[in-house]
Chains A and B, each alone.
Chain A
Amino acid sequence: MRKLGAIVLLATGFAFGIVPSAEAHHSLSAFDYTTEITLEGTVTKFLFGNPHTFLHIAVTGEDGEVVVWAAEMSSVQNMARRGVRGSTFKVGDVVTLSVNPMKSGSPGGKYTSVTAADGKTYQ
C-alpha cells in the first residue's frame, strides 16, 4: 500500500452549516456534529448498499500507523441522487473524506463530503 501522509483537519463549532436530512433511517446521535475531520486515505472497501452505503479508507498517521476509517453514508438512492454510483470508488483509490466523527472515538463517522480519485466532490 502506498504510504500516505494523513491530513487531519479538525474544525470545531458550527461554522460548516448543518442541514438536517429530511429522513434518517436511524438516529444519528452516535456522531459528533460539532466536529468535522478531513482525512486523506486509500479506499479499502466500498459497500454500495441499503440502508447505508459505507466507504472504508486506510489512513496513515504521523506515527506511521495505518488505521481504517469507516464512513457511513446514506442509502443507494440518496447517494445516487448526489452523483455517487457503484463504480465511483475502487479499492486503491486515493480519496479525501470529511466526516463528523464517532463520539465514541472509534475511527468512523458520518460522511459530510468526499472527493474521489478523479477530483469530483460529493456531498
Chain B
Amino acid sequence: MSTTLTTTFRIALIFLSMTMATFLTAQTLFTTSDYRQDREQWTDPAYFNFNTLRQIVNLHRSESDAGSGADTFDITTPYAYQTSMEQYQAWLEEANGGTSHTLETLPDWDGNWGGNGSWFAGNQVQVSTVVAALTPQYQEYYVQQTKAEAEGRAWWPSAFCLPDGFVRGIQTPNQFIVRPQQVVIINGDALQTESQIRWIHNDGSGHLPEDLHYPKWQGESIGFWDGDALVVHTNQIKQWNASRSMLFEWSEQMTAVERYERVGDEIMGEVTLYDPVAFVEPLHADFTFGLIDDPEVRPVYNTCTDSDGPSTNVYVTEDGFIAQRVPGDPGYWDAGDPRPWAAHFAIGEN
C-alpha cells in the first residue's frame, strides 16, 4: 500500500513539475555546458526533460527531446536485507534448507523462453529515478552515460562485440536445463543476437574459496530449490555497464539474488542487486518469461563477431562518436570471408 502511495505521489509530482517546467526556464541536460556542475538537479526529472531511460537511448531518432514523464516503477528492493547473502540465507532457512529433487520430481522448465525486462527495458522509469538510487560517484558515471546518449555518443559493449555483462544478460534466458545438482541457463534471447551461458551449482557446495575468486562476466552462481522455485546467489560479477536502456554502471562488489518459478506457461522471475559501492540501496526488478511458440525459433550459438567482426567494424571517432566501417574502408572486417586469416598471411608474405 505504501509503495502504491509513494508511486502515485511521485507520478503526481512529475506531472506538476512538467506543468511548472513550461513556465520556468532552467538548465537541463540538453542545455548545460557542464553537467557535473548541476549535481543538485540530477534527481529532478525536469533536468532530463522528463525522459525515461528508453527515451534517452532513442533520442537520436526522435523528433523532440521532450520526454513523456512516465515513471511507474519502484526500482529499489522491497526487502529489508542488508546483503545478498543475508537474503539468500534467510530464504534458505525459510525453505528448511532447500528441497532435494530427483530427475523425476524436478519441475518442467523445458522450452524456448523469451521475456520482458521489467523496468530494465527502460520504458517507464525516469532517468532521475535511477540517479536517486545511485551513490555520488555512480550518479556521475550515469549522468555521463546519459549525456553521451543524448548527444549520440553511445558506448554499448555490444557495439564492440564485448560481452553484455550480467545485468543485460539476466533479462534474456532462452533455455533452462534443469538437473538435480545444477541448472544451466542459456541466454540466447529471442533475437538470436548473442549467446551466453550460466551455471548454477545446486549441490550445496557453495561458492568457491575466496582465494579462487575473480571477476567473471556472469559471476559465480549457487542455488537451491524452494519447492519448485529456484533461488540463486551470484557473486564475482565483473564490473560493467548495463547499456541498451538502463545505462547504469556497477562495481565489482555487486552481488545478486534471483528467484524463478514456473506458473502455468510462464516463468516468473525476480532479481535483487546489491552493490554498496554503486547503489544507495539494492535495486530490484521482476521478470516474466513466456514460451516462444514459433517452430522456426531455435536456440542458436553465435557470437557478435559473426557479423560485426572482432571489434574492428565499429569504432570511436576522434570526436567521440560511434562510427562503423564499410567495404573499402581500411580495417573493414569482411564477415563473409570464409578464410579471414588468408588476408593476414598475404600481408606477411608480401
Asked if A106 is an interface residue, CB under 8 A from chain B, the answer is: yes
Interface stretch (choices A2-10, A49-57, A115-123): A49-57
Given the known interface contacts A20-B58, A27-B159, A53-B307, the answer about A107 and B326 at a Cβ–Cβ threshold of 8 Å is: yes
Q: With the chains together, A42 CA to B191 CA distance in Å?
A: 28
A103 touches B307 (CB 8 A): no
Q: Out of A67, A69, A104, which one reaches B323, CB within 8 Å?
A: A104
B154 touches A103 (CB 8 A): no
B322 touches A29 (CB 8 A): yes
Q: Out of B153, B159, B297, which one reaches A26, CB within 8 Å?
A: B159
* Chain B residues within an 8 Å CB radius of A25: 158, 191, 193-194, 304
Q: Out of A51, A67, A104, which one reaches B307, CB within 8 Å?
A: A51
- Shortest CB distance B294–A (Å): 8
Asked if B192 is an interface residue, CB under 8 A from chain A, the answer is: yes
* Chain A residues within an 8 Å CB radius of B300: 50, 76
A49 touches B327 (CB 8 A): no
A47 touches B335 (CB 8 A): yes
Given the known interface contacts A23-B191, A33-B61, the answer about A103 and B329 at a Cβ–Cβ threshold of 8 Å is: no
Given the known interface contacts A25-B194, A27-B57, A77-B192, the answer about A102 and B308 at a Cβ–Cβ threshold of 8 Å is: no
* Chain A residues within an 8 Å CB radius of B302: 49-51
Q: Out of A14, A51, A53, A104, which one reaches B324, CB within 8 Å?
A: A104
Q: With the chains together, A20 CA to B159 CA distance in Å?
A: 18
Asked if B284 is an interface residue, CB under 8 A from chain A, the answer is: no
Given the known interface contacts A49-B302, A49-B335, A75-B192, the answer about A29 and B324 at a Cβ–Cβ threshold of 8 Å is: no
11 more A-B contacts (CB under 8 A) besides A33-B60, A50-B300? A14-B63, A20-B54, A20-B58, A25-B191, A25-B194, A27-B159, A45-B336, A51-B307, A51-B308, A52-B308, A76-B192
- Minimum-distance CB pairs A-B, first 8: A27-B154, A33-B61, A51-B193, A108-B326, A26-B159, A50-B302, A26-B158, A104-B323
